Amino acid sequence: MQLGESYIEKNLSKELGNIKQETKLSPLEEGLLNKYDFSDERNQIDDFRDVYSEEKIVRDKDILLAAKGKARKEDELQSDVDSKKEKRRGKLFESLFFHSAEKNKWFGDDFELMPSCEYDDWINHVDFILEANDVNHETMRIGIDVTTSVNGSAIVSKINQVNAGQLNKVDYFQSSDGTINGKCLLPRVVVGISPETLSEFAEDVKWNRANESIVQIMILDEMKRQILEFFKLSIEANGKESNITIELRKINTFIDTLLEKKENLRPIDFDAKVNDITFSLLR
């Protein structure tokens, strides 16, 4: 059983048809993309030579190289530049999300948001790992995949990569407390905003208004919807007292608490703005 499958199939075309298709990045957006590039902060496969065998290191490097080569060939075969524009927008959202969440404490006072290793980005579809402490000071971890895609099949693919009762994995992860070095199992959510909302978000970042941006409410809402759905499905698949279900319950409570604290950022016309988000299909 997969998250929201029937709803997506029924409503995807209608929802995405209302999203404005943007042209290439503006000079402001290109400047912000360069300013907040975080590629140097990613873990590298070679950082884990004391964890994994040389055989796995070499194999995973080859897998990553092949995936990037395939994507490059697909770009070359594109008859238009829409796909390349979409990837640039995706990179911009990743950069602004990382910068703004860290600077403005989007996930509370006690959290770490870490970019994934390039392998986990390309192969395991996790852009960031969020570490945060719950009310009992126990650490929770969530994998986050961000997108600005207006490609219906791509969104369905992202959502359907998550199966009920199973956690996503990252292979090259170092936890902030040093307890995990290598493979980590965690729930994964996909969060997204439309190209139009991304442009508004870029303006907020430019004028240091990201701490008031409704994008953080949009993201938390999307995370809430997915985690709650995972929680319900995990109860069916694993039982109420399984480790996965208990972890999802804690994460759900954590997100609820954040949303309560940030409710003042939700404007009166929020529902209208939500319709402009790619993941309004999860409502």
Residue 13 has pLDDT above 50, yes or no: no
Q: Any idea how long the chain is?
A: 283
Backbone angles phi, psi at 15, to 5 degrees: -65, -45
State the Cα–Cα distance between residues 189 and 159, nearest whole angstrom.
8
State the Cα–Cα distance between residues 235 and 251, nearest whole angstrom.
15
Give the per-residue pLDDT at 40. 92
Measured over the CA atoms of residue 166, residue 120, residue 13 and residue 256, the dihedral's sign is positive
Q: What is the pTM of this model?
A: 0.86
- Tokens standing for residue 277: 């988000």
pLDDT band at residue 196, thresholds of 50, 70 and 90? confident
- Candidates 84, 75, 86; CA nearest to 22 is 86
pLDDT tens digits for range 43-98: 999 999 999 999 999 999 999 999 999 988 887 776 555 566 678 888 999 999 99
User: Between these two residues, 220 and 20, which has the higher pLDDT value?
Assistant: 220
What percent of the chain has pLDDT above 90?
Answer: 56
- Candidates 124, 146, 118; CA nearest to 45 is 118
pLDDT tens digits for range 94-138: 999 999 999 999 999 889 999 999 999 999 999 999 999 887 888
Query: Half-sphere exposure (CA, 13 Å, Cβ side) for 126?
Result: 31
Give the per-residue pLDDT at 50. 96
- Candidates 124, 177, 123, 162; CA nearest to 244 is 162
Residue owning tokens 């990252």 = 170
Are the CB atoms for 162 and 145 separated by under 8 Å? no
pLDDT tens digits for range 140-181: 999 999 988 655 555 555 555 555 557 899 999 999 989 999
Give the per-residue pLDDT at 236. 87
| Apex 281 CA angle, 97 and 125, nearest 5 | 45
